[in-house]
Structure 1
Amino acid sequence: MAPNDSAETNGEATGTVVGRRKAARYIVPVAVAGVAAATIGLVPALASSGDPELPKITAQELIEKIAASDEEQLSGTVKVSTDLGIPSLGGLADSFAQGATGTDKGNGASSAAPEAKLMELASGTHTLRVAADGPDKQRLSILGEASEYSIVHNGDDVWAYDSKSNEAYHAQAEQSDRAAGKAKEHKAPGGVPATPKELAEEALAAAGDTTSVTVDGTAQVAGRDAYQLLIKPKQSGSTIGSIRVAVDAENGVPLKFTLSPSSGGKAAIDAGFTKVDFDKPDASSFAFTPPKGAKVTEAEELQAEAEKNAKADKVPEDLAALEDFKGLNVIGEGWNAVAVIDTPGGEGLAGLPTEGSGSGDVPEGAMQFLDALGDKVTGDFGSGTVFKTRLVNALVTDDGKVYVGAVTKDALVKAANTAK
């Protein structure tokens, strides 16, 4: 192993390269339950086949190498492992997606819609195939035992296809995003980070002066030599123990991303290539035509159906408003930042309508899921329930406030007490 410089940086050094320090360090959930799915990460750690000897490099230089990487073409196989300490979301994914959009199978929802399928990546282990050819062509396929789910972005079109149900979903790519250069981040179709590069960019964008960034040795991933960048919070109270990113020594592309919780044990998010090729993918990778007999649903149809249901009070306006939080009040900074949200009607979880109640469409299964995760707590703020995962926790108070962040239960209670 080469004796790499383990140079610690502060937020100023990191921010000069990444320039996105205001990126969220947590993701606010829809109806609280979304905290689990929102921490989707892709691709597990791969067994190292030896630590290569590489020239010395500082943390700052390695961050600059990531930022300067201009690889726009790649293909490969990625393995995803996510362990947030929650039950599998497979059976509830459709329910959460339908609750958020106001649709169900009887109202024209498609099993191929990304909102439902990508949520399944929030737990378990998955094998993916990925390909990219510039900002306008990407493909992500989730491989099942006897089925495959694919999302294909090619120019103005985004297609998704579920071979198990023989259903397809079609949407128009956002012209404004491509014009603004956002597609150059190589986000997978559907908006979910699909490669270690995307996950690494999110982590570096969130780094500030509360963060230690060092080079911690070398590794070999998918047959390629890599440096290991280690990102750790300096503060106590975070559920995140460390983030390790294996960076291709030649081209600066992150090859593996591993997020370990402060509580110990196996990684919460472990993402890495098993195979990777930086040559131009074949054009056929981005061609898609719905198979004969496939049911095709247009995104515009789902949107129209959701708006129709909202007007019919199937999705209350205050619940629908949870989809777009703006001007959040944030307590604390860095890794200990906690967002404060007012729940609809100020009634806490008790005020959320459930199926069969006559006032809303939050699935009963989702509510049972929440109840199973909860711990009752009290403090100067009053009383409430903490919903815990290994990564993102949320405190819902009885007077209708939600405190959410990648912090421990004690840190949430402290934040709630501080707010009072």
Structure 2
Amino acid sequence: MAPYESDDAVDAVQGDVARDEDRHAGRRKAARYAVPVAVVGVAAATIGLVPALAASGDPDLPKITAQQLIEKIAKSDVQQLSGTVRVSTDLGLPDLGGLENNLASGATKGSAGGSSADPQSQLSTLVTGTHTLRVAADGPQRQKLSLLQSGSEYSLIHDGKDVWGYDSKSDEVYHGTSADSGKDHRAEPPATPKDFADQALKSVDDTTSVTVDGTEQVAGRDAYKLLIKPRQSGTTVGAISIAVDAKTGMPLKFTLTPKSGGAAVLDVGFTQVSFARPAGSTFAFTPPKGAKVTEQKADSAARKHAPEPGEGFGKGMPGEGFGKGMNAANVLGKGWTSIATFDTGAKGGLPTGGSKAGDLGGFLGSLGDKVSGKFGKGTVFSTRLVNALITDDGKVYAGAVTKAALVKAADAGK
């Protein structure tokens, strides 16, 4: 049976979720793995009322509507877990021979005292390829994430006020405290299915279709599949599928596929998970003897401008969340076709000529497509999801939209 959509669900979701939120808000606010309040903003969306039936071979679970499944996610209060997560990212970026990672690492080292154990340096590698992570959590004050690499491992541990990063390859240690930013410092970046599901659900509004798309098993657990599809034309997003644990309501898998088809742009899922409390020793860390330890200064520029959990890689979700994650950017449009725009102040577009800057500009220009319109001329840089137009007069237009949408926005801005 295929689900159908109806606007009748709107009022019901608003009332029911508001009452549930009043009862659970205090407890969920303190829990690291509780769904943010913004998730229940999906009340304005068009939600499927009739549940889909499980396909042959999938778990035979009780019927549930999209409204009920979203409420189940919002009520989920998982605070203890451990498991293995597989992260695959395929944005269709050109192979730069590791140059992009070296640039990101170099920028971070320059601002954080040169430590290869700095989280921003290590976790930038998640933007491309396939990676295996081990994760563990015991409430909002204790988390651990380990990035397994060839012959080495990088671990990020949050234990109370201490935040430790350890790179076994270089034998370097990064140490900071939650007081560095004056906020609740969380060790783990947005790298679990729940992190991405939260961002996707924040983007759901009346430009979106939300339905239940059957059931499946993830990491040996029965799950419902929530399907999110943009209703707007002009976006590069095809669909988002979220596998929701039938028992706990926690997202176990997140898959984003582009409208162009092919492999998923982002596929994040548990391959193994347990909701038992991890051993306390999991979060204990003492720098190995002889390791180089870099202390993060509380007033460092790097910390002041460090992204909040969920920003950057995680907050680069399509929809309005994309625009909100960019500093000093205005957002044009709404929903999945929203475009972030800002002025770099750099006239003349990409540098050209014989200088090193010119050589770099020529190289970058070769990766993009030249376009023109009422706005003048510019270059569009494309991935399988996010596209960006840099005009010759220094303006930038970016979003999970087509090249034509960017040109149209630039023309209107002119």
TM class by shorter chain equals 0.7 to 0.9
- Structure 1 CA distance for aligned equivalents of residues 273 and 69 of structure 2: 20
- Structure 1 CA distance for aligned equivalents of residues 40 and 375 of structure 2: 28
Q: Among the aligned pairs, what percent are the same residue?
A: 57
Match for residue 294 of structure 2 among 297, 314, 317:
297
Equivalence for 1:58: 65
Q: Offset of 1:14 from its aligned partner?
A: 7.2
Aligned-residue Cα RMSD (Å) equals 3.2
- Structure 2 CA distance for aligned equivalents of residues 356 and 13 of structure 1: 61
1:242 match: secondary structure: strand
Measured against aligned partners, the alpha-carbon deviations of 1:167-187 in whole angstroms (never above 9, x if no partner) come to 111111257533xxxx7xxxx
Q: TM-score, normalized by length of structure 2?
A: 0.78
Equivalence for 1:340: 341
Equivalence for 2:187: 189
The 1:241/1:14 distance shift into structure 2, 3 A limit, reads farther
Answer with 292-301 or 248-257: which moved more. 292-301
- Structure 2 CA distance for aligned equivalents of residues 119 and 405 of structure 1: 20
Match for residue 86 of structure 2 among 67, 79, 87:
79
Measured against aligned partners, the alpha-carbon deviations of 1:59-113 in whole angstroms (never above 9, x if no partner) come to 01100100100110000011111000014574432313433x5817xx9311111
- Structure 2 CA distance for aligned equivalents of residues 213 and 78 of structure 1: 25
Unpaired runs of 5+ residues, structure 1, are 24-47, 308-323
The 1:6/1:271 distance shift into structure 2, 3 A limit, reads farther
Match for residue 20 of structure 1 among 35, 38, 42:
38
- Structure 2 CA distance for aligned equivalents of residues 49 and 158 of structure 1: 47
The 1:4/1:236 distance shift into structure 2, 3 A limit, reads closer
8 Å contact kept, 2:146–2:154: yes
- Structure 1 CA distance for aligned equivalents of residues 73 and 40 of structure 2: 19
Match for residue 163 of structure 2 among 151, 158, 164:
158
Q: TM-score, normalized by length of structure 1?
A: 0.77
- 1:116-127 matches, cutoff 5 A: 116-127=121-132
Q: Paired residues, what number?
A: 358
8 Å contact kept, 1:8–1:59: no
Q: Which has the higher contact order (CA 8 A, sep 6+)?
A: 1
The 1:370/1:75 distance shift into structure 2, 3 A limit, reads farther
- Does residue 130 in structure 1 map to residue 127 in structure 2? no
Equivalence for 1:26: none
- Structure 1 CA distance for aligned equivalents of residues 298 and 290 of structure 2: 19
- Does residue 248 in structure 1 map to residue 253 in structure 2? no
The 1:369/1:113 distance shift into structure 2, 3 A limit, reads farther
Q: Offset of 1:398 from its aligned partner?
A: 0.2
- Structure 1 CA distance for aligned equivalents of residues 279 and 364 of structure 2: 45
Answer with 368-377 or 222-231: which moved more. 368-377
- 1:10-409 matches, cutoff 5 A: 19-20=37-38, 50-87=57-94, 90-99=98-107, 101=108, 103=110, 108-174=113-179, 176-178=182-184, 189=187, 192-300=189-297, 303=300, 326-350=327-351, 370-409=364-403
- Structure 2 CA distance for aligned equivalents of residues 156 and 49 of structure 1: 49
2:198 match: secondary structure: helix
